């Protein structure tokens, strides 16, 4: 029954994705339509596109399992941080200004924004290179966790799952561009909302309800340095490691402010009233999906003796984090498992579509097109479609190699990629929207600093070329890509205004002309009923 039910749901899901892509071809005939949906996308589609691009299978399977195991129920703070910092504040602070200025400057990508806002082709090229380098491993990491989930239902090779997901995602993005992605994101978002609620309720029910599950979890203890034991750490407010929890919250929440595929959603929304509605919708979506994922992961230790979790050591002290959530799901009703399979696929495909569209548009519009004079709209769209195929193929190949050769480097690259792009782009983009005093030199310094931090993290964590004493400040910073990513973002917020004080300013008239877009008045037509009431 489980195989039949899951197969039916998957066939229906895949068929719907392809139909939407085909029907949206009419919106993808020029660059503006293919990349931004004609800048006329409503609040529901934009909000769901933002949320589904934010939360992928890595969040549901990997991060929820890892941080739920490490922090217990306190990991729910990560989901709430994602909702209120990564969604609510991002929409409030970036939404309106991003929409207005990107339209005024006629920019379609983040590197294009840096060029026109700061008057520097060099910044555009540098930003394009950063996006190109760090988007590819990011897309490859999206397939993490799919293997262990599909093994619950199907006995098929992992590479088959990867190929099916990659091909179907590429098809609907190539056909319909951003509009197909946005509509499919909305459908996939509905599946994610239903799925996460269903699985949380099912897991709690299996453990005797919320109160009993929390009581059981409170019996778990943590051995601290000096022989001290912390009882009930995994069921309390801050968990066993509040400082590390804070760093995770900052990276996964504030980081969205500097990610091109996230900020790009504000380029396409049609008006300011849509931004207000989208803010509420996006925040609600994040509370349910992110909050639900991390809350679910907090109960992971209740399944330590189930036999379904895979361990890295014989003493069963360190699990493979990607196996925790599948272990929690393995004994649930067939209907719930089937929904979760579709949920995880939906989450992965929505994020993958957003990433490959962002990568292909950046490479085409910011690198290829400027080097070729008089390139037509049709040719630009054609090149973007080719690059979508390229990025999907590369991500699938890397994911298959990661699985067959056990390359943990790729599996952990999402955190590195996230930290690199957010560290490089967050401060320059944020200040670029709000301040006239930011200089192009300060943006360049931020790019260099973030890239250097990322390279250092790679040398420390993955290649073991450099090592630091973990008890020192620098040792703590490079303890993980999470810590170095947070430091990179925070230092960027300090460096950009600081360097701007001592470096040449842009032409004042040019900058005033850019910021004049915020002062423009928009005339709206009064409804007939309102006219009558006024009379």
Examine residue 215 and state whether it is found in any structural domain, yes or no.
yes
The answer as to whether 120 is a domain residue is yes
Residue 291 has pLDDT above 70, yes or no: yes
321 pLDDT exceeds 70?
A: yes
pLDDT for the residue 532: 43
What pLDDT is stored for residue 522 in this prediction? 55
Q: Distance between alpha carbon 420 and the CA centroid of its chain, in Å?
A: 13
Element containing residue 150 per DSSP (H, E): helix 146-150
Residue 194 lies in a domain: yes
pLDDT at 285: 94
Provide DSSP, 404-435: HHT-HHHHTHHHHHHHHHHHHHHHHHHHHHH-
Give yes or no for residue 215 having a pLDDT over 50. Answer: yes
What average pLDDT does range 247-275 have in this prediction?
91
In a domain, 470, yes or no: no
Q: Is residue 129 in some structural domain?
A: yes
pLDDT at 4 over 90: no
| Nearest partner of 399 among 141, 104, 118, judged by Cα | 141
* Total number of residues shown for the chain: 535
Query: CA-to-CA distance for 409 and 464, rounded, in angstroms?
Result: 12
How many other CB atoms are found less than 10 A from the CB of residue 263?
A: 26
Contact call for residues 128 and 362 (beta carbons, < 8 A): yes
Q: How many domains does the chain have?
A: 1
Helix or strand (DSSP H, E) at 231: strand 229-231
DSSP class of residue 289 equals H
In sequence order, the β-bridge partners of residue 230 are 222
Residues 465-516: tens digit of each pLDDT: 777 888 888 988 888 888 999 999 999 999 999 999 999 999 999 999 999 9
Domain enclosing residue 70, as ranges? 2-408
Tokens of 319: 């699990």
Q: What are phi and psi for residue 230, nearest 5 degrees?
A: -105, 110
For the segment 188-216, the average pLDDT, to the nearest whole number, is: 90
> pTM of the full predicted structure?
0.90
Token pair 């490490």 in the structure block, residue: 70
Cβ atoms of 19 and 176 within 8 Å: the answer is no
CATH of the domain at 66: 1.20.1730.10
Residue 520 to residues 370, 406, 411, 516, Cα–Cα distance (Å): 30, 56, 47, 7
Of 229 and 232, the structure prediction assigns the larger pLDDT to 232
DSSP-assigned beta bridge partners for residue 387: none
Asked if residue 65 is part of any domain, the answer here is yes
For residue 195, give both structure tokens: 């799925």
Structure tokens at 479: 């303890």
The Cα-based distances of 284 to 45, 274, 298 in angstroms read 14, 15, 21
139-148, 218-227, 438-447: which has the highest mean pLDDT? Answer: 438-447
C-alpha distance from residue 496 to each of 253, 259, 410, 450, 452 (Å): 21, 17, 31, 12, 16
Would you state the pLDDT for residue 386? 94
Instruction: Kindly provide the b/e burial profile for residues 1-23, where b requires at least 16 CB atoms within 10 angstroms of the residue's own CB.
Output: eeeebbeebbeebbeebbebbee
- For the stretch 405-464, pLDDT in tens is 666 555 566 778 888 999 999 999 999 999 999 999 999 999 999 999 999 988 887 777
The predicted model gives 336-365 an average pLDDT of: 87
Closest CA to 8 of 350, 347, 349, 335: 335
Q: How far is CA 297 from CA 65, 74, 327, in A?
A: 5, 10, 11
Distance, CA of 117 to CA of 102 (rounded, Å)? 9
**Rounded CA gap, 247 and 485, in Å?**
9
Residue 99: pLDDT band with limits 50, 70, 90:
very high
Handedness of CA 78, 321, 327, 400 (dihedral sign): positive
* Residue 346, in any domain of the structure: yes
Are the CB atoms for 45 and 186 separated by under 8 Å?
A: yes
Backbone angles phi, psi at 311, to 5 degrees: -115, 150
**Chain centroid to CA 121:** 27
The larger pLDDT score, comparing residue 106 to residue 340, is at 106
For residues 351 and 142, the answer to whether their CB atoms sit within 8 Å is yes
Most confident of 212-226, 254-268, 340-354: 254-268
Report which of 488, 490, 487, 486 is spatially closest to residue 252, judged by C-alpha positions.
486
Q: How confident is the model at residue 528 (pLDDT cuts 50, 70, 90)?
A: very low
**pLDDT at site 531:** 47
Q: Is residue 351 one of the residues assigned to a domain?
A: yes
| Rg of the chain (C-alpha set) | 23
Residue predicted with more confidence, 45 or 136: 45
Query: Measured between alpha carbons, how far is residue 525 from residues 270, 494, 517, 528, 531 in Å?
Result: 16, 44, 21, 9, 10
The Cα–Cα gap between 12 and 176 comes to: 19
- Residue 530, pLDDT > 50, answer no
DSSP 469-516: -TTSHHHHHTTSHHHHHHHHHHHHHHHHHHHHTTSPPPPHHHHHHHHG
CB 187 within 8 A of CB 52: no
253 token code pair:
């929440």
Q: What is the dihedral of CA 117, 121, 125, 131, to 10 degrees?
A: 10
């Amino acid at each position: 029954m489980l195989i039949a039910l899951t197969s039916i749901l998957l066939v229906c899901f895949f068929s719907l994705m392809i139909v939407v892509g085909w029907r949206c071809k009419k919106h993808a005939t020029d660059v503006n339509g293919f990349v931004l949906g004609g800048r006329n996308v409503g609040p529901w589609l934009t909000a769901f596109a933002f949320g589904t691009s934010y939360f992928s299978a890595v969040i549901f399977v990997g991060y929820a399992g890892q941080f739920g195991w490490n922090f217990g129920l306190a990991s729910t703070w990560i989901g709430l941080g994602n909702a209120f910092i990564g969604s609510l504040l991002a929409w409030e602070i970036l939404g309106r200004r991003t929409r207005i200025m990107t339209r005024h400057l006629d920019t379609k990508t983040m590197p294009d924004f840096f060029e026109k806002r700061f008057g520097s082709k060099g910044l555009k090229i540098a930003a394009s290179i950063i996006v190109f380098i760090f988007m590819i491993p990011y897309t490859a990491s999206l397939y993490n966790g799919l293997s262990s989930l599909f093994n619950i239902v199907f006995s098929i090779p992992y590479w088959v799952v990867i190929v099916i997901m990659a091909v179907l995602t590429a098809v609907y993005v190539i056909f319909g561009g951003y509009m197909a992605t946005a509509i499919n994101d909305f459908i996939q978002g509905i599946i994610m909302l239903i799925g996460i609620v269903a699985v949380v309720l099912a897991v709690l029910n299996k453990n005797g309800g919320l109160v009993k599950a929390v009581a059981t979890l409170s019996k778990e203890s943590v051995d601290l340095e000096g022989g001290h034991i912390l009882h009930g750490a995994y069921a309390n407010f801050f968990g066993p490691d509040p400082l590390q929890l804070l760093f995770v919250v900052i990276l996964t929440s504030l980081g969205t402010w500097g990610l091109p595929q996230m900020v790009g959603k504000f380029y396409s929304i049609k008006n300011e009233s849509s931004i207000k509605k989208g803010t509420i919708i996006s925040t609600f979506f994040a509370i349910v999906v992110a909050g639900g994922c991390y809350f679910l992961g907090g109960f992971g230790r209740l399944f330590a003796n189930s036999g379904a979790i895979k361990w890295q050591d014989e003493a069963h002290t360190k699990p493979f984090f990607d196996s925790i959530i599948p272990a929690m799901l393995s004994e649930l009703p067939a209907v719930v498992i089937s929904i979760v399979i579709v949920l995880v696929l939906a989450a992965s495909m929505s994020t993958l579509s957003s990433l490959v569209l962002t990568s292909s548009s950046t490479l085409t519009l910011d690198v290829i097109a400027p080097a070729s004079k008089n390139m037509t709209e049709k040719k630009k769209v054609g090149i973007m479609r080719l690059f979508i195929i390229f990025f999907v193929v590369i991500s699938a190949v890397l994911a298959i190699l990661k699985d067959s050769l056990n390359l943990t480097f790729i599996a952990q690259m999402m955190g590195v990629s996230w930290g690199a792009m957010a560290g490089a782009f967050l401060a320059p983009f944020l200040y670029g929207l709000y301040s006239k005093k930011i200089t192009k030199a300060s943006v360049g310094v931020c790019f260099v600093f973030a890239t250097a931090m990322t390279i250092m993290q790679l040398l420390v964590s993955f290649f073991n070329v450099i090592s630091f004493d973990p008890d020192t400040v620098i040792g703590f910073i490079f303890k993980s890509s999470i810590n170095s990513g947070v430091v990179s973002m925070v230092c960027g917020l300090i460096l950009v205004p600081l360097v701007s004080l001592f470096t040449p300013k842009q032409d004042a008239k040019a900058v005033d002309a850019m910021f004049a877009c915020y002062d423009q008045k928009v005339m709206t037509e009064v409804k007939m009923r309102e006219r009558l009431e006024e009379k």
